[in-house]
Structure 1
Amino acid sequence: MAAIMVRPFGRQDVGAVHALMRALAIFEGYDDKFRLTEADLVEHGLGPSPRFGVLVAERENVIVGIAVHYIIPWTYDLKPVVWLKELYVTEAARGMAVGHALVEQLRQYVAGIGASAIKWTVLKSNMPAKAFYRSLGGRPDEIWESWQLKIDP
């Protein structure tokens, strides 16, 4: 099996990252609301003050997975938390340890910045994702539940 290389994304990756983000939107059923452009990725992910980071996983020089993340600054314990916003692996590359490689690289990044945890959400119906996250040692938060307040335009 070909080796998987994980690294931060760069300008040369914007098209592939955008395509995978759109594929995730289709998979999760919000593609009709997907408004992100490649220019947005450059401005907000690679600009002078990036709002998020993206790790890309390459296999045979093709990007087959992404881990989009951002930092939530510290509050009570003086340690930030890293929020894993999107983890997506192409269907053809699933089962090849791409997701594991992405999460492991993110885990190393998190440890390097002194963050206390990686947090994320999972669609209630996505049992394969839940099994995957459990295999990494992830667990549902037994104290906190996810809430939202929608702001309509």
Structure 2
Amino acid sequence: MDGGAQALIRPFARRDVAQVLDLMRALAVFEGYIDRFQVSEADLIEHGLGPSPRFGLFVAELAGHVVGIAVHYIIPWTFDLKPTLVLKELFVAAEARGLGVGRALMTAIVEHAARIGAPRVNWLVLAGNERAKRFYESLGGQHDIMWEPWTMAPNALNDSRLD
């Protein structure tokens, strides 16, 4: 990739499906869940480009090739009756790292948040991903020390010993 090129950031389109799926798979490998990865091209089309999209996605394009993605969704309102924009996935292909692609994608996310009136963008970072943490801090992101992530499988309540 050309170190002097500037990435074109734009909304996800039908022509991007195969390349976006490749990047999602690369992220799944990086984060260690490729064995559970189930997203298909049809899923991206239906849930991202269909009549009622369940997520938004910005792509970063360099020389006609998609090299980065920022997947997001909206929590319509919370305590302040304003939406929260959630960054679900940010990933840049290895060959495009260090070229400003991640920063450009985050800029698109923040601008989108402003357009929809969201006073905040929330995201999670893989615990051991120190490079990502430094990147987000360099942009003004802050670790939220008030909240801890929790999860529960749907069948966990049935299996629990809560009485």
Q: TM-score, normalised by structure 2?
A: 0.91
* Distance (whole Å) between structure 1 residues aligned to residue 26 and residue 79 of structure 2: 37
Q: State whether structure 2 residue 153 is matched by structure 1 residue 150.
A: yes
The CA RMSD over aligned residues, in Å, is 1.1
Unaligned ranges ≥5, structure 1: none
Aligned to 1:102: 105
- 1:45-124 to structure 2, matched below 5 A, reads 45-124=48-127
- 1:78 is displaced (CA, Å) by 1.4
Give % identity.
56
Deviation track 1:11-52 (CA, whole Å, cap 9, x = no partner) reads: 000001111001000000000000000000000000000000
* Distance (whole Å) between structure 2 residues aligned to residue 123 and residue 2 of structure 1: 29
Amino acid aligned to 2:48: G
Dislocated runs of 4+, deviation >3 Å: none
Q: Are the equivalent residues in 2 in contact too, given 1:3–1:60 (CA < 8 A)?
A: no
Unaligned ranges ≥5, structure 2: 157-163
Amino acid aligned to 2:146: I
